[in-house]
Amino acid sequence: MKVFTSKLCTTLHTPEFEFHGGAQSQHYECPERREAILKYLESHSDSFEVTEHVEDFGYEPIKRVHKQGFLNYLETAYDEWILEGGHPNGVMPSTIPHYRLARLGGQTPTNSLTNAGEYCFDMSAVITKDTFKAAWNAAQVTLTATKDLVRVADQYEKGLAAGTTVSREAPPGLYALVRPPGHHAQSDLCGGYCFLNNVGIAAQWLIDRPELRQKDGQPKKVAIIDIDFHHGNGTQELFYKTSNPLYASLHGRDAYPHFTGAATERGEGEGLGFSINVPLPRSTSDDEYVEALEKLIQEHIIPYDADYIIISLGVDTFKDDPIAGFLVTSEAYPRIGNAIRKIGLPTLFVQEGGYCVEKLGLNVGGILQGFLGKVAA
């Protein structure tokens, strides 16, 4: 499996702290996460080919899912924050415009202190001096991997047609090892460690490509499966009113971000029925999680008849994750990867959460090895 990454995913965006559970704490979305995963991948070079080749796709794919005002804010927030006396750790909102706050005068933000609340919904998405560069880099790495997904998918389909590829039991897979993650980032809102929605940007890029259109002129279909412990409110918001891509999420019930991800959230208008949410209790075991995933695949992913699968790959489902977690053990992750492999479609894995650094490489590697039809070692 080819792995796309960049050393900038380690060196950029390094906040010293966040606020968690009412207290100042370490910033769990740390550079060591990428290093732990990379160490595992490089120790299994028979399965993984790591490349740091990154193409620059520019601003256009990002602007297809994010609003210009929000992008302007991300790019300039830190400098303005420092000029106005903000703490050098990074930009954090001190006041967030709650939906019941009576904004009777229609006030709009006038400085970085108020913009932070307007464009961020929590205190974990700390904007440092190089956060925008880091998020930009993560998006470009993901797009580079997405472009290669098109190439290997084309080879795969030609092989099936020619009979040189035996069956759909060994579909091509690629992995974008990026940070910061993206699935909590909405069209004009950051939060949950996320600033630009890497998976959303990738999905929209595939849908937009004119050369990928079907014979009837329709775009290729994309199915996003979010297996992070936390609901991907951002990805859902981006595509809530459209039927392509399909968004499906398995996540913790009553967990962060707390106000999204109910089973009743099914989309609107054209998108009705194309947002699928499966909230699970924290007591969910290995067998229960895999069964829920397999049911989701059989009832929603297979019937959707997608051309590409994109996986929001979070392993904060792990039982020892410091800020999340079901009762899922490391032994479950190869089974999860195998369930995704059985869909039989070209698949891009994009890194999201997972904060137990000690087991992060093993758990991410387990999913990827399972997709390859191997057992993680």
CA distance 21 to 92: 15
Nearest CA among 149, 56, 54 for reference residue 348:
149
Which residue in 275, 143, 244 sits closest to 201, CA to CA?
A: 143
- Is 184 labeled as catalytic in the residue annotation? yes
**Cα distance between residue 18 and residue 268, in whole Å:** 35
List residues bridging with 4 in a β-sheet: 51, 176
**Mode of pairing for the β-strands spanning 17-20 and 173-176:** unpaired
Paired tokens of 312: 């929001």
Closest by Cα among 137, 142, 154, 139 to 308: 154
> 360 near 39, Cβ under 8 Å?
no
Burial status of residue 349 (CB atoms within 10 A of its CB: 0-12, 13-18, 19 or more): buried
CA-based R_g, the chain, Å = 20
- Report the C-alpha gap between 325 and 29 in whole angstroms: 15
Structure token pair of residue 286: 């290995």
Rounded to an integer, what distance in angstroms lies between the CA atom of residue 15 and that of residue 78? Answer: 12
Distance between CA atoms of residues 43 and 88, nearest Å: 37
| CA dist 2 → 5, 141, 185, 323 (Å) | 10, 12, 26, 30
Q: Is 13 left (phi over 0), alpha (psi -120 to 50) or beta?
A: left
Check 27, 66, 184, 251 and give the catalytic one.
184
The residue length of the chain stands at 377
For 83, the enclosing helix (H) or strand (E) is: helix 68-83
CA dihedral 103, 108, 111, 114 (to 10 degrees): 40
3-state secondary structure of 279: strand
Catalytic residues: 184
